[in-house]
Each structure stands twice: as structure tokens, then as C-alpha cells.
Chains A and B, each alone.
Chain A
């Protein structure tokens, strides 16, 4: 499913990467431990997290993730947004908590 469609169906806010929403999303990964994502996330997945600092972008880039969704109304740090633009990896957001967002994304993709 395209990230654009997910964004519309889940009513997600876009912090950066408005032009990158045509990406194909093959799954999701929910974790707030960067080392866990480094070790186990897969290319093309959407990462659901509350971590807003720039290291999340480094990890997203390393693993070729489709994008990051920040939960609970969290907003990305300025340097995270800057890296998002240079890496071409969108950052989206929602007021939902991780459990609800993960459930809804899971249902959309399966």
C-alpha cells in the first residue's frame, strides 16, 4: 500500500517528506528501542515510535524504512526534520498511542 493512502486513511499529519509519500509500504515495526529496530526492522516498513531525536533518522536510513510515524502528538526535533529531508524518509504523526496506531495500520495492510 502506498504511504499516501495510509496517511489519508489514518488521518496522519506530515512533518516532512510530503513529496515522498508515493513510497510502497510493506509492513510496520513498533519499537522505541533503536537497537531493536537496527537489529530487526525490514526495508519498506513504517516505524512507529515516540522517539523524536535525529538518531531515529540515522536508523531509518540504515534500514531503508519507508517512513516514521510519531505517536501521542510528539513532534520531531528540528535536526530530525533536516535529516529527513536529506535522506528522503518522511516523518508523519498522530495523536493516537502506539497500540491503537499499530492495530489500525496492521488492519490496513493485512
Chain B
């Protein structure tokens, strides 16, 4: 998915805010954010972090300094397993003109050597947003890996995937009521951008107002097609 295509698609789908969360990498986010600023789409920068338990976490931080710190954290703890591009594809960072700036040699689909709690503490220490991803999915979710939401895990919201049957899911996991919820596309292909979304209420768009809105977002805010 090229940076320009992502922003164009977001505009087509009337998305005011998108989050960029590559697996264990923040490197594409600033490039997409710059285009977004020009085109009127607010880009939340972060990564989809894979904890040592193989739980996927959406981590967003504010500003280039915090983003650099998050990237350094990922560099430090990512398990160093060389990628085989024939099997898993090339892991490239490209600019707006789709020229290759960098190739990541280590497998980004592996895990980082940090637990759920450690990632939560780190992300919050940067003033960031910590959201367990696609909790309804059968793989790489809080529920698939642990079986439950740990009562002492400080989450800002829980994310549903685009395919989630929310009513029956909540019925089967009633103890989750009282948490905040969002829904997002987890798009790995351009046509999936915006396949579901969340309506967040705020006076003006900023990282802090998004964070506050996410923490208040209920089931009624979910837009599932």
C-alpha cells in the first residue's frame, strides 16, 4: 500500500483520522502523516506491536520525539530473526514517490521480547495510547492468547475487527462491558481501508483530543458495515 494511495483512499472513505500501525515498525508513519497534513487527513502514528505472548497491540504516540523513542524500543526488543523475502515478502520503507528508502532485514512479524505489561507501561510512559488489537479474532488477540482481559491491564480501549459480530461477542464476554471500544479496518490491502470505523466526538482534532475521545468511545460509536 503506497503512502499516497492510503491517504487518497482515506479521503474517498471520508475518514478524518487514520492510524498507521505497521507490524513492529513506525518508519512509514511520518511519511504518510506528511501527506495527510497536506490532504486534510489526520494521521495517528504508531505501530502494531507483537508482545512476547503474541498479542497484537495498537500503540500510538504524539510527536516525532516520542515516535523515535517507540521505534528505538522496537529496535531494541525485536527478536532478531532474518527475513526470507521469498516466503514473507520484502519489508520496505518507501517515500511518497515509492522509492525504497530502507529495507528491514529482521522479521517484523515476529514478537518483541517484552510482555503485555511492559509494553503498556512503556507506551503510557510516553503519553501514548494503548489498545489491544482485534480482540475478537482467533489469532494474535488478547483473548486468543490469554483467554481473558487481565483485570489490572490499563487499556485505553479495546479494538474489534471489521468482521466482529459485536452483539453476540459482548453477550459471550459480558465482563468486558464498561470498557471503551473502537473498530478499525486493520487494512493490509488498500481496498480494506475504511471497511469499518469509529465515530469519535471532539471539538478539534489533536492527539490529546483523540486520546480522550477513544477512552470514552462506547459500542454506540462503532460503525460496522
Contact = CB atoms under 8 A, between A and B. Distances in A.
A53 interface: yes
B81 to A, nearest CB: 5
B93 interface: no
Interface SS, B side: loop
B51 to A, nearest CB: 10
Nearest to B53: A33
Contacts of A53: 139
Interface residues of A, number: 10
Contacts of B52: 35
A4 B52 CA distance: 34
A61 interface: yes
B139 A58 contact: no
Interface SS, A side: helix
A35 to B, nearest CB: 4
Interface string A29-61: 000011110110000000000000100001001
A58 B54 contact: no
Contacts of A58: 87-88
Contacts of B54: 33-35
Given A35-B79, A39-B81, A62 B110 contact: no
B107 A38 contact: yes
A36 B54 CA distance: 9
B111 interface: yes
A34 B53 CA distance: 10
Interface string A11-39: 00000000000000000000001111011
18 contacts: A33-B53, A33-B54, A33-B111, A34-B54, A35-B52, A35-B54, A35-B111, A36-B111, A38-B79, A38-B81, A38-B110, A39-B79, A39-B110, A58-B87, A58-B88, A61-B84, A62-B81, A62-B87
Given A35-B79, A36-B111, A61-B84, 14 more contacts: A34-B54, A34-B110, A35-B50, A35-B111, A38-B107, A39-B79, A39-B81, A39-B110, A53-B139, A58-B88, A61-B87, A62-B84, A62-B87, A62-B88
A33 B107 CA distance: 15
A108 B110 CA distance: 31
